[in-house]
Amino acid sequence: MPSGNLASVLLDLNDPHFQSDLFALDASDIRKVFKTLQKLSGMTWNDVFKDHGLKWEAIKSVTGKYTIRLSQSYRAVALRQGAYLRLQSLHLDHDGAYGKK
């Protein structure tokens, strides 16, 4: 099994904040987000870093946390632990994902 950035992305959607945000979406937004989650589940970490549509970006104010685009409207706050992409929250506005007011 490959490791490091050659490893397949394993999704962790179990964070209560992420689930609460996800379950609050309307059906149209849920479909868009799940399409991206399905895409992520078939990628390696190298693919994630290279994919311009996902826009994987570090949150400069919080070490080890990142944002990733899950749809045109929504970004998620996430962290990487080994092969796991642990999604922590969803944000409608770009600044909200970065903790700005």
Q: Where are the domains of the chain?
A: 4-97
As beta bridge partners, residue 69 has 75
Q: What is the pLDDT, as a whole number, of residue 101?
A: 46
CATH architecture for residues 4-97: 2-Layer Sandwich (3.30)
Q: What is the pLDDT, as a whole number, of residue 2?
A: 82
Per-residue DSSP letters for 32-75?
HHHHHHHHHHT-BHHHHHH-TTT--EE-TTSTTEEEEESSSS-E
Q: Give the pLDDT confidence of 33-78 residue by residue, as tens digits.
A: 999 999 999 999 999 999 999 999 999 999 999 999 999 999 999 9
